[in-house]
Every structure is written in structure tokens, then in C-alpha cells.
Amino acid sequence: MSDSVDHLKLRKGAFRIALIPAEVLEALNDGKLETVNLNEFLALELPRLARNVAVHIGLDPDSERLGDTFAMLPSFKPMQRHGHIARALYDMTADHAERDAVAHRLATHPSDVARCWATHWIQMSGLPLQKQLEATWRFAADPHFGVREMAWMAVRDSTIRSLDEALRLLQPWVLNPDANIRRFASELTRPRGVWCAQIEQLKAEPWLAIELLEPLRADSSRYVQNSVANWLNDASRTQPEWVEETCARWQRESDLPETRYITRRALRTLSKQVPEAT
């Protein structure tokens, strides 16, 4: 992993997979470079990348466990394949003398995809929710957008199972100076979310999360603002009156551009449902 790829890091991603330069694809599959768009992510040769990552973190790239996983990958959807690779790597550490060191090397790997695999390990750990959130912190703050998305998805199911505890544990997160950390708390608890299990309790009672949302109602980060607006927009589908009342109160109490932006986006679904005047 000593060959420099610094000259490739500021590239703009290709508009089509076929246009990805060979040098970039080589570095991606070698685990030396992060993806910059979906096309690069989809172009990866997962068995090759997984073998290279295994070597980098101190595991056997020719492991039978890994080979069996590669053989069955075509029968799964693209995103599911990553979960199976992560599981194989995790299982391979079961009897490893330096399991924690292997986990650290995966969590800090140059490849964003490898770090995404590390987030899956949190799901597999069996740790209590508080420990899972502590382990997720580094991924929630990761500079790569893809890793940050995998971070909240990694603890979504555990959050649903222990919602009251999660809402309490996440309160310091929404006060953190790092916008990525604040956004994580909002995105993790969205009642509906995207490509994930819905939180039925928050669809029915979104007010349970108000202590998480209140500190973010005038957040300076557009990244956070969009998440909060999406949170409320999710809730508006099941509790429209509460969302309207919350947005109206926020506008009265916080007459700022940031709050106006959040509430306008939060009400976008309800706005479409208002019949036009005749």
C-alpha cells in the first residue's frame, strides 16, 4: 500500500462506469483509494478488493470462508453483497490472536468500502446499545459520505429495539460541534428513513424525539438542516397536525433563515396536499 495515489484524490468521478480511468479502477480495487461517486462504487471487483483488504488487515486472503462467500455473491443484490463480505471477514477473526487490532485496521482503512464493512461489524458484535453507539462515533464523523450513511444504518435496528434509551443517549450528539455527529443523531432516528426499517413508534408519536430536534431547529449546517427537515417531513405523513404546530412554533420562536429553510422543507409534502383555491 506504499504506492502513492495522492494525484488521484481530487478527481471528479466519471459519469459512466466505462469512463473510469484504468488507473483509478486499479487503485480502488487495490484498496488504496476511496470512491467518489456511485459509478465507482458499482464498478468495484468485490472479490479482488476483499482479498486485498484481508491482506492489509492481517487475514488470509485465500481463506475458504472468504472463497465460499465470493461464490455466492452473484445470487445477492449489490448492497447485500457487502454485508456478506463483512460477515466473512468478521467470522475470520473469531480465533485471531489480535482481533481488536484487525478491527482497528479495518475501521481506519484507506478504502471507504472497507470502512463500510467495519460498520457491519458493529451489528454483529452483540454489544449493548450504548457501546454500539460509542463504536459508531468514528464512522458517524468519517469524512466520506458513504461511510457516514452506513454508520447510522449499522445501529438502526438496535435503536428501534431500545428507542427510549437511544433518544436519551443521543442527546449529547445533537450538541456536538461536528455537524456530521449532529446529523447522525437526526438521520438515525428518522421515522421513515431510506432503505431501512421504519420506526413505527416515532411515526405514531414523533414528539418523543422533540428533545433531539429542538437544538437543531436553527442549525448552521445545511447538511443537518436537510436531515431535520426530512425527519419532520417523514413525521408529517402520519402526524401532520403535530408537524404543522411544531413548525409554526419554531418560526415564532426562531425567526432565522436556517429555521425558515428547515420548516419550509419539512412541510413540502403537506403543502402539496393543500387544494388550490378556485
pLDDT tens digit sequence for 20-46: 999 999 999 999 999 999 999 999 999
Per-residue model confidence (pLDDT) at position 273: 76
Taking CA atoms, 168 is separated from 41, 160, 173, 267, in Å, by 35, 13, 10, 27
Per-residue model confidence (pLDDT) at position 193: 75
Q: Is residue 9's pLDDT more than 80?
A: yes
Per-residue model confidence (pLDDT) at position 181: 98
Q: Is residue 3's pLDDT more than 90?
A: no
The model's confidence at residue 274, banded by pLDDT at 50, 70 and 90, is low
Q: b/e string for 51-83 if b means 16 or more Cβ within 10 A?
A: bbbbebbbbeeebeebeebbeebeeeeeeebbb
Instruction: Provide mean pLDDT across the span 83-88.
Output: 97
Full-model pTM: 0.91
> Where are the alpha helices (H) located in the chain, listed in sequence order?
22-29, 38-43, 46-57, 64-72, 78-92, 99-107, 112-124, 129-140, 145-154, 156-161, 163-169, 179-188, 200-204, 210-213, 222-236, 240-253, 257-266, 268-273
Instruction: Provide mean pLDDT across the span 138-164.
Output: 96
Taking CA atoms, 15 is separated from 9, 19, 39, 41, 102, in Å, by 17, 7, 7, 12, 35
Per-residue model confidence (pLDDT) at position 48: 98
Q: How far apart (Å, rounded) are the C-alpha atoms in residues 106 and 56?
A: 8
Instruction: Provide mean pLDDT across the span 170-198.
Output: 95
pLDDT tens digit sequence for 92-134: 999 888 999 999 999 999 999 999 999 999 999 999 999 999 9
Q: How far apart (Å, rounded) are the C-alpha atoms in residues 30 and 43?
A: 13
Length of the chain: 278
Per-residue model confidence (pLDDT) at position 194: 76
Do the beta carbons of residue 20 and residue 14 sit within 8 Å? yes
